[in-house]
Chains A and B, each alone.
Chain A
Amino acid sequence: MSEQQWTDAAAVDDVPADDVIAVLVGGNEVALYSVEGSVYATDNICTHGHARLCEGFLEGHEIECPLHQGKFDVRNGAPTCAPVTEAIRSYPVKIEGGRVFLSLG
């Protein structure tokens, strides 16, 4: 794998435990999730109805869209419940010095 570019997205403390927030990174809205002490990142806009996942409902590793209750696995963006059929883009995350860095690829 070629060397990854890491972009500073937020402070780790900005992401409440077992919850989701949205941040603007490189002009795109990204949702950051904190689950069991790990941080995950996906695009913030649902692939189905264009709702904002940061307004959704995080249960374990699944984020549920606030509009139509579609679900994604926040670890890899895979769709896990109808109506979503298309994966949402997920981003590699690393934590350094209390900051959340994303590889936007």
Chain B
Amino acid sequence: MSAEEKTIVIVGAGQAGGWAAQTLRGEGFGGNIVLIGDEAHRPYERPPLSKSVLAGEALPETTRLQKPEAFDALNVDWRPRVSATRIDRSAKQLHLSGGNVVGYDKLILCTGGRARKPGIPGSELPGVFTLRNLDDAAALGAALAPDKRLLVIGGGWIGLEVAATTRRKGLDVTVVEAMQRLCERTVPPEISGYLQRLHVSNGVRVELGTGIERLAQGADGTGLIATLVDGRTLACDVVLAGIGLIANDELAREAGLQCEGGIVVDPQCRSSDPNILAAGDVAVWHCERAGRRMRLESWQNAQEQGIAAARSALGMAVNHQPLPWFWSDQYGINLQIFGMPAPEHHRVVRGDMESDSFVVFFLDAGKVVAALGPNAARDLRFARRLIERGASVDAGQLADLQIPMSKL
């Protein structure tokens, strides 16, 4: 699609939408690009929101995808504080809040998700937060004075990163996780154990296998009282719920597109309507490495699928099958995960898991299919190469610290 009069509309001005716009221009698309964003901000990256931005160590503008002048140079019709309300597929038109309508030749849905709210009594009280966007980070950050007590509901990545950030500021922090271990959905048990030791040694109370039944105002009118399902109570001032993401797929669903907890797309990022594509947190697709349909809620996927969707919209050949890659920063430790570790994989440890730098490899039929570890970015980069090559590697050599990773 190179004709000048064509219009590509992107719904969602987050990381995926921002990369889609950047890529369309980068690939030479000279038509109209309309970028609909319900926030006031130009596209930005979310990872610092639970870390440096929340800590007040980085300014919000440091998270932006492009400098304002570079964004302006893309010549995008950016509509901030506007949401899409309806897709008229037969007319190829998008209806917007405020009553405007824009026509499209291709529509790219990068609507992301919203933070799940705790469905318990008291969750609407002041002092109870979720964290998804820049405004959330500003509101939560303003509530986090060093003498406050923070309760984190959910021992996943957002909750743990906020716990680490706030603990370093001196807050009293408790993490309550309903499952029997931290980050149960994404890491094997020994890494859950590592994360738990890391947080406990930094003074965080970790409560596993329990949940919060209700929240109430403190008796003296200040603070909050959380009641656990086992009847215990916990006094706190601020509550952060990090209990997952709900895909913003309503727009697509109401337009009759196939959705399964997100918008179902193929490796070309096309939905069940070939003129409508989707990318980022909202997209569900068949991940070959995981062997199943899934959403990949990650910085990497938002970027790479946003790029892939833009190319696909232009008729270029794409096959979005990234090697999943994820990282988390907590207490100065950088933990990275490549691939999709699974319980059935054979594990090989390189280094000492009691230390703060080691690598765990996950082997399937003698091939490295995933790897993770704290403070091991360089070794993991070599591990990524092993995974990408699908090479068979001797487990003894992987574990042997005398053999540099570069030689494997």
Contact = CB atoms under 8 A, between A and B. Distances in A.
A85 B64 CA distance: 11
A85 B381 contact: no
Contacts of B19: 82
B377 A66 contact: yes
A86 B67 contact: yes
Interface in B247-300: 299
B70 interface: yes
Interface in B357-382: 377-378, 381
A13 B351 CA distance: 30
A67 interface: yes
A85 B66 contact: yes
User: Looking at chain A's contact residues, is the secondary structure mostly helix, strand, loop, or mixed?
Assistant: loop
Contacts of A67: 327, 334, 377
A58 B342 CA distance: 30
Nearest to A85: B66
Contacts of A62: none
Contact of B303 (A57, A66, A82, A86): A82
B307 interface: yes
Interface string A30-64: 00000000000000000000000001110000001
A56 B384 CA distance: 13
Contacts of A56: 381
Contacts of B378: 55, 57, 66
Contacts of B334: 67
Interface residues of B, number: 17
B65 A85 contact: yes
Interface string B5-29: 0000000000000010010000000
Nearest to B71: A85
A82 B307 CA distance: 9
User: Looking at chain B's contact residues, is the secondary structure mostly helix, strand, loop, or mixed?
Assistant: helix
A67 B300 CA distance: 11
A64 B67 CA distance: 21
Contacts of A86: 67, 70
Nearest to A83: B303
Contacts of B303: 82-83
Contacts of A83: 45, 65, 303
Interface in A47-105: 55-57, 64, 66-69, 82-83, 85-86
A9 B9 CA distance: 50
Contacts of B325: 69
A86 B19 CA distance: 14
Q: Which of A64, A67, A86: most chain B CB closer than 10 A?
A: A67
A86 B378 CA distance: 23
A81 to B, nearest CB: 10
Nearest to B23: A82
Contacts of A82: 19, 303-304, 307
A23 to B, nearest CB: 19
A7 to B, nearest CB: 28
A55 B377 contact: yes
Contacts of A64: 381
Interface string B377-392: 1100100000000000
B113 to A, nearest CB: 20
Contacts of B377: 55, 66-67
Contacts of B307: 82
Nearest to A82: B303
Nearest to B299: A68
A11 to B, nearest CB: 23
B381 A66 contact: yes
21 contacts: A55-B377, A55-B378, A56-B381, A57-B378, A57-B381, A64-B381, A66-B377, A66-B378, A66-B381, A67-B327, A67-B377, A68-B299, A69-B325, A82-B19, A82-B304, A83-B45, A83-B65, A83-B303, A85-B65, A85-B66, A86-B67
Interface of A: 55-57, 64, 66-69, 82-83, 85-86
Given A82-B19, A83-B45, 20 more contacts: A55-B378, A57-B378, A57-B381, A64-B381, A66-B378, A66-B381, A67-B327, A67-B334, A67-B377, A68-B299, A69-B325, A82-B303, A82-B304, A83-B303, A85-B22, A85-B65, A85-B66, A85-B70, A86-B67, A86-B70
Interface of B: 19, 22, 45, 65-67, 70, 299, 303-304, 307, 325, 327, 334, 377-378, 381
Shortest 7 CB-CB contacts between residues of A and residues of B: A66-B377, A57-B381, A82-B303, A85-B66, A83-B303, A55-B378, A85-B70
